[in-house]
Amino acid sequence: MAYVLGIDVSTTATKAVLVDERGAVRGIGVSEYDFVSPRPLWSEQEPRLWWDGAQAAIRSVLASAGVRGEDVAAIGLTGQMHGAVLLDAAGDVLRPAILWNDQRTSVECEVIRRAVGPERLVEITGNDALTGFTAPKLVWVRDHEPDVWRQIAHVLLPKDYVRLRLTGDYAVDVADGAGTLLFDLAARTWSQEVLAALEIDPEWLPPTFEGPAITGPVSGQAADATGLRAGTPVVAGGGDQAANGVGVGAVAAGTMALSLGTSGVVFAPTDRPIFDPFGRVHAFCHAVPGRWHLMSVMLSAAGSLRWFRDTLAPGVEFADLVAAAASVPAGSQGLLFLPYLSGERSPHPDPLARGAFVGLTLAHDRRHLTRAVLEGVAFGLRDGLDLMVAAGMPAPDQIRASGGGTASPLWRQILADVLDAEIATVNTTEGAAYGAGLLAAVGAGWYPDVESAAGALVVATPSARPGPDVALYAEAHDLYRGLYPALVPYFHRT
């Protein structure tokens, strides 16, 4: 039997997922590492950790599955988006990579808006300038580290540094490239207008490829390091959210995915480039050729429940905490929770936004607070969904959900009622890495296109449908939406 390998270069670990020709996951290898915060708001990582992690994860999954490197037909890459990996002419790393969750670049975002024009920036890239994107990081290096700036010959994204070490090739997929704020969204390649405005040399940037396209073969040196076969094709892959969309079958317009992990993401493929004119939701190229996607992001989704548990119910199992909340009626008896514990991105791109419980009375206990957290996260996801629909995306009938938060039947039902859509789960939990494997399967010729691969291998099963509480939640959401405007003066004062 032949296999494909999906490699996910995340912020805390590199994962290698081995997938067979039937679409079954035959093995998983993981190598963990950490990132550093050398100053407040900074987040950096040494690129060597990703390559070390990839070698260890690949060797681990091959050994645990009893599979030879010769039996791997192709490799797909995915990983954390928006990072800045700076290399000199020899391909050596010039400084630690600046990561997606680094917040040092608020001034540089304003510099970018002035240089390009705020409306023109969104027209070209589909996005406003936010601290998480790659472009503000490059402007920061330009203005704060001129010695590094003068030595730059190549700029890569994190997973593409692993590609470089695997194949010796500089390349990026269009989905990850679109997350740099340097892309022409409609043209699916680098924007010469934005690059010129920001004084970024186009020669620094790698060639762009569609997700299932082969970018190069595994080199002999990398084969020795990983146990793979030299010459094994490596496909372009996709940024983690686009690859996760492939992994849950959200590959065509009319399907939608929801990821409920530490952060919360609503993801919708589109057949044309559409965007919110104010940049409140993200518009990127999809890893599927000829497709784009809209994406809303909230920073503390299941992370809000973890904070609540760790702070107010330490030692209580999540399942027990949520089960108790099921005895509370929908609406938590008037209690509302704002999930802005880490600031917010959609619908309020505001790093100073803060969390809050509003409406507490003596009648409320821990069960009510727990349910209010579940409902508040769902309301935040609904905010992003509404922006996406307003931008031109059809309202969904079904949403394919993944992530740890979707293990809760109560939370799935709340999501179905608040989002007014059927919630479905899929037959794999490996998300982005599995999606990278499906892109590799297309690159290997197992399927003619990504839609065929996803249609054959991804099975969605309905798990919650909108119920009698839809109207009640619509009224509660209206109250919820009024809280941020009322509290933002306080957030910005403190």
pLDDT in tens, 207-226: 999 999 999 999 999 999 99
Average pLDDT over residues 3-11: 96
Measured CA distances, 492 to 102, 234, 487, 489 (Å) = 20, 47, 9, 5
Cis, bond preceding 347 (omega within 30 deg of 0) = yes
CA dihedral in degrees (106, 107, 108, 109; nearest 10)? Answer: 50
pTM: 0.91
107 with 160: CB under 8 angstroms? no
Phi, psi values for residue 307, rounded to 5°: -60, -45
Average pLDDT over residues 410-423: 97
DSSP calls for 63-89:
HHHT--GGGEEEEEEEE--S-BEEE-T
| 209, two tokens | 């490829």
Phi, psi values for residue 146, rounded to 5°: -60, -30
220 with 185: CB under 8 angstroms? no
Measured CA distances, 390 to 138, 274, 275, 352, 385 (Å) = 32, 11, 9, 25, 9
pLDDT above 90 as % of the chain: 89
- Tally of residues, the chain: 494
The domain ranges of the chain are 3-241, 249-427+459-494
The predicted pLDDT at position 494 comes to: 63
Average pLDDT over residues 238-247: 95
Q: Candidates 3.40.50.261, 3.30.420.40, 3.30.200.20, 3.30.9.30; correct CATH number of 249-427+459-494?
A: 3.30.420.40
Average pLDDT over residues 196-200: 97
17: pLDDT strictly greater than 80: yes
50 with 162: CB under 8 angstroms? yes
Distance (Å, whole) CA 141 – CA 339: 32
Average pLDDT over residues 115-129: 97
The predicted pLDDT at position 248 comes to: 94
357: pLDDT strictly greater than 90: yes
172 with 236: CB under 8 angstroms? yes
Angle, helix 450-457 to helix 431-443, in steps of 10 degrees: 120
Average pLDDT over residues 251-261: 91
Average pLDDT over residues 352-377: 97
Residue 477: count other Cβ atoms within 10 Å of its Cβ. Answer: 18
The predicted pLDDT at position 262 comes to: 84
**422-426 and 398-402 beta bridge pairing:** parallel
State whether residue 431 is helix, strand or coil. Answer: helix
429: pLDDT strictly greater than 90: no
Distance (Å, whole) CA 194 – CA 124: 8
- Catalytic residue, candidates 20, 102, 184, 240: 240
pLDDT category of residue 7 using cuts at 50, 70 and 90 = very high
Average pLDDT, the chain: 95
CA gyration radius for the chain? 22
In the numeric block, the tokens 């030595």 are attached to 151
287: pLDDT strictly greater than 70: yes
20-70 pLDDT tens trace: 999 999 999 999 999 998 998 899 999 999 999 999 999 999 999 999 999
Average pLDDT over residues 441-461: 96
381: pLDDT strictly greater than 70: yes
Class at the top of the CATH hierarchy for domain 3-241: alpha beta
90: pLDDT strictly greater than 80: yes
Average pLDDT over residues 245-253: 94
The predicted pLDDT at position 351 comes to: 82
335 with 373: CB under 8 angstroms? no
Average pLDDT over residues 239-244: 94
288-320 pLDDT tens trace: 999 999 999 998 999 999 999 999 999 999 999
Question: Where is pLDDT greater, at 103 or 165?
Answer: 165
404: pLDDT strictly greater than 90: no
State whether residue 134 is helix, strand or coil. Answer: helix
* Active-site residue flag, 417: no
Helical H segments across 239-301, by residue range: 240-247
Phi, psi values for residue 164, rounded to 5°: -60, -45
